[in-house]
Amino acid sequence: MFRIDARSAVPVYQQLVQQIKLMIVSGKLVDGDKLPSIRQLASEVKLNPNTVAKAYRQLENSGFVTSRKGMGVYVSSEEMDLEKNRMEIFQQLADVFITRAAGLGLDSGEIIEGIRKRLKGVVNHDQD
């Protein structure tokens, strides 16, 4: 369900946060869904339980989940602006992609053209 990249510059707790947020805004996790327990998820992704707890706290502080004493952690997206969060996550992903593409020496025109070519057949894309 979750993948952690130990070689990534992104801290592992933040990788968990990003993956859970993405699952919520994409509809894979919906309001009321129960997340794995801290111990269960820590075991699954081979992390310290404190790391998972930190991720869950951050998700709770940002309103993505609610912790219920003795019952677990649940998705709480009912009052959330999912479209706003979806666009924020998209922009973060785009920033990472653009930075990496520019690091390859591509200019903005090459990046845009490359994206247009990749979109063909992947997403219904209107031609300009």
For position 72, what pLDDT does the model report?
93
* CA-wise closest residue to 35 among 76, 4, 87: 76
For position 124, what pLDDT does the model report?
57
CA distance 106 to 96: 14
Average pLDDT, the chain: 87
**What ranges do the domains of the chain cover?**
12-75, 82-119
105-124 residue pLDDT tens: 999 999 998 888 888 866 65
Q: What is the mean pLDDT of residues 21-30?
A: 90
Cβ–Cβ < 8 Å for 71, 84: no
For position 128, what pLDDT does the model report?
46
* Fold designation for 12-75: Arc Repressor Mutant, subunit A (1.10.10)
CA distance 56 to 5: 18
Q: What is the mean pLDDT of residues 35-59?
A: 95
CA distances (Å), 74 to each of 28, 50, 70, in order? 13, 18, 12
